[in-house]
Chain A
Amino acid sequence: MFARLNEGKTFPVLLILTLLMVIWYGAAIKLNTPWQLDIYQRGDITEWTTTQFISDTLNQDRPVLPSAHQVFTEMWNTIVGKSITSKRSLVFHAWITLSATLLGFAIGTGLGILIAVGIIHNRAMDRSLMPWIVASQTIPILAVAPMIIVVLNAIGLSGLLPKALISTYLSFFPIVVGMVKGFRSPEQIQLDLMHTYSAGPMQTFFKLRWPSSVPYLFTSMKVAIAIALVGAIVGELPTGAVAGLGARLLSGSYYGQTVQIWSALFTAAALAAVLVMLVGLAEKLVIKRMGMAT
């Protein structure tokens, strides 16, 4: 049985998980010890057993590093235990962030594809646009986000769209890079073939370049959707948003609610994982439908 575990994926996964937990709990005890000693001192508790001490450090109200069970209990309570319309429900907050993510991702993907089409068909665009696009990504998004929100507010745009546009700002980049490569992926003899048919640029695009680029599209979309989520969260921070995972992070840090911060972080990570998986699933289906199964 042990051999079978060793062969499959189960054993390595469990091993890594156990290691992570050991590190996590070790770090939690270590980091929370000073505060725990402080509490004992103030409460005039002079004697304690090791077991009690460890249990106390792992169950503080506002620990420096919350323990795993605290985070997961909080997540359980706020995801399953609350009505999804409640302001304390993580599902509610996650949905707010998710809607901005998806809108931003959709705009970013469309924009990225359009820019890539322009770049491959126009030499001037190829030469002039790419440096700007790369430069746009070197600017820290945290610095730009408030300005985007403020500027858009000034022209009367508020709510979902400004946040979504920050997601767009981040997510169009991998799409442009991936799709330029994808549109240029047909081999020279395939392009020659289209030339011998006297195919026009539109025909070459839709019959050759576009289908060739599909695998590239999905690879870039996997990157794009994950950073679109980051963009949406970042977009919630500077506005003092009252809802969304970013808002939970922000209010958590105002009030020292580390457990709340960590559970929002884990929810965001889980959400990103699910989104990337969904794109992967769509990729499998599309590639299979196109007949390019391997």
Chain B
Amino acid sequence: MNSVVTAKNLSLTFETNDGPVHALSDVDLDVGEGEFVSFIGPSGCGKTTFLRVIADLEQPTGGAISVNGMTPAEARRKRAYGYVFQASALLPWRTVEKNVALPLEIVGMPKDEARERISRTLEMVELAGFEKKFPWQLSGGMQQRVSIARALAFDAQLLLMDEPFGALDEIVRDHLNEQLLKLWNRTNMTICFVTHSIPEAVYLSTKIVVMSPRPGRVIDIIDSPLPRERPLDIRETPEFLSVAHRVREGLRAGHSYEE
């Protein structure tokens, strides 16, 4: 299995007025091609920071990281990944299709090719027919699906998702989790997914990275025994519950329940 993301002794320290904050401390991690990796932990454990380092939105202060064998900055310039933020970050003056077109406009893709890409990615997130709608005309879940379509528009093989469903209610979240799994199965992309929900992490992932704060570090890496095909009710099986239990134990070991 080829490595998509490799981190070695990765550290990142923010200098603040209250002294240094160790957001990441000696993180070693390998994300293989086609994996669905979840990062779970309480706030301040560095899960989002790690994702932002992969995306070249933060600069590490120590160690090494490579994305598709390149530095994060090179990977960014090569458009090697799509990034989905906590909020949809759609531009309110652009329709759904124009929002998805934004990254394609920036790279200067010819109109015809772009149009084909847009309709294909909107179909992937089951939003065909909503092309001409403005963001405010859509529900929160649909807005987040548009932002996923936008992240898919580059056809990158790596999708970075930072708590993409954190602001949505559980019913919508379940539905989107199911859709996301289907999408992953169909495209065989590599997905890095930040969450603070144990069921979400266990349900989605082939690999779960449990993290703990102060300093942000990896506590446990769990390779999921669950099959690739996952109906929603897999969440009641003993295998699922035992993985969830191990995640919870890891979080407890990281003292993340003390606050």
Interface residues of A (CB under 8 A from B): 187, 189-190, 192-199, 203, 207-208, 211, 214, 290-294
Cβ-closest 7 pairs across A and B? A290-B93, A291-B134, A189-B89, A196-B83, A189-B85, A197-B106, A199-B106
Are A198 and B79 neighbours in the complex by a CB distance under 8 Å? yes
CA distance A194 to B92 in the complex (A): 15
B residues near A292, Cβ cutoff 8 Å: 92-93, 134, 136
17 A-B Cβ contacts within 8 A? A192-B83, A193-B85, A194-B106, A196-B55, A196-B76, A197-B103, A197-B106, A198-B79, A198-B106, A207-B91, A207-B102, A211-B91, A214-B93, A290-B93, A291-B92, A291-B95, A293-B134
Chain A residues closer than 8 Å to B55, beta-carbon distance: 196
B29: Cβ under 8 A from any A Cβ: no
Number of B interface residues at 8 Å Cβ cutoff, please give it.
25
Inter-chain contact A291/B93, CB cutoff 8 Å = yes
A-side binding surface: helix, strand, loop or mixed?
helix
Q: Chain B residues near A197: list those with CB within 8 A.
A: 79, 102-103, 106-107
**New A-B pairs, 9, CB < 8 Å, besides A187-B87, A195-B76, A211-B91:** A192-B83, A196-B57, A197-B106, A198-B79, A203-B106, A207-B91, A207-B102, A292-B136, A293-B136
In the complex, what's the smallest C-beta–C-beta distance from B153 to chain A, in angstroms? 10
Tell me, in angstroms, the Cα distance from A195 to B95 when the chains sit together. Answer: 21
CA distance A194 to B89 in the complex (A): 11
**Would you call B193 an interface residue if the criterion is a C-beta within 8 Å of the partner chain's C-beta atoms?**
no
The residue of chain A having its C-beta at the shortest distance from the C-beta of B52 within the complex is A192
Residues from chain B with a CB closer than 8 A to the CB of A214 are: 93
Residues in chain B near residue A189, CB distance under 8 A? 85-87, 89
Chain B residue with Cβ nearest A187: B89
A147 to B95, CA, bound (A): 51
The dominant DSSP class at the B interface is loop
Interface string of B84-114 (1 = CB under 8 A from A): 0111010111110000001101110000000
- The residue among B76, B86, B91, B102 with the most chain A CB atoms within 10 A of its own CB is B91
A193 with B89: in contact, given A198-B79, A207-B102, A294-B136 (CB under 8 Å)? Answer: yes
Asked whether, in the complex, the Cβ of B76 is within 8 Å of the Cβ of A198, the reply is yes
Report Cα–Cα, A294/B137, bound state, in Å.
10
Complex Cα gap A208–B93 (Å):
10
- In the complex, B186 has a CB within 8 A of chain A: no
A200: nearest residue on chain B (CB-CB)?
A: B106
Residues of B within 8 A of A208 (CB): 91
What's the least CB distance linking B103 to chain A, in Å? 5
Number of A-B contacts (CB under 8 A): 57
Within 8 A of A (CB), among B46-61: 55-57
Give the A-binding residues of B (Cβ under 8 A).
55-57, 76-77, 79, 81-83, 85-87, 89, 91-95, 102-103, 105-107, 134, 136
B218 CB to nearest chain A CB (Å): 24
Distance, CA A29 to CA B55, complexed state (A): 76
Least CB distance from B138 to A in Å reads 12
In the complex, A207 Cα to B93 Cα: how many Å? Answer: 10
Kindly report which residue of chain A lies nearest to residue B135, judged by CB atoms.
Answer: A291
Contact B106 A190 (CB under 8 A): no
**A291–B103 alpha-carbon span in the complex (Å):** 20
Whole-angstrom distance between the Cβ of B154 and the nearest chain A Cβ: 8
- Tell me which of A193, A207, A294 contacts B83 (CB under 8 A): A193
Partner of A190, one of B57, B82, B91: B91
B159 → chain A, closest Cβ, in Å?
A: 12
Which residues does chain B contribute within 8 Å of A194, judged by CB atoms?
106
Say how far A49's CB is from chain B's closest CB, in angstroms: 67
Distance of A195 Cα from B77 Cα, bound (Å): 10
On chain B, the residues within 8 Å of A211 by CB distance are: 91, 93
B154's nearest neighbour on chain A, judged by CB, is A197
* Complex Cα gap A262–B79 (Å): 66
Measured CB to CB, the nearest residue on chain B to A190 is: B89
Cα A291 to Cα B107 with chains together (Å):
24
Point out the residues of chain A lying under 8 angstroms from B103, CB to CB: 197
Contact of A207 among B57, B77, B92, B106 (CB under 8 A): B106
With a 10 A CB-CB cut-off, give which of B87, B95, B106 has the most chain A CB atoms: B106
- When A192-B57, A291-B95, A291-B134 are in contact, do A198 and B77 touch as well, CB less than 8 Å? yes
A207 CB to closest chain B CB (Å) equals: 7
- For the complex, give the distance between the alpha carbons of A192 and B136 in Å: 21
Q: Name the CB-closest residue of A to B83.
A: A196
Q: How far is the CA of A198 from the CA of B75 in the complex (A)?
A: 10
**Could you tell me the distance between the alpha carbons of A103 and B91 in the complex, rounded to whole angstroms?**
33
Query: In the complex, which residues of chain A have a beta carbon less than 8 angstroms from the beta carbon of B87?
Result: 187, 189
**Partner among A190, A195, A196 whose Cβ is within 8 Å of the Cβ of B81:** A196
Expressed in whole angstroms, the Cα–Cα distance for A203 and B91 within the complex equals: 14
**In the assembled complex, how far is the CB of residue A213 from the closest CB belonging to chain B, in whole angstroms?**
11
Q: Are B89 and A207 in touch, CB under 8 angstroms? A: no
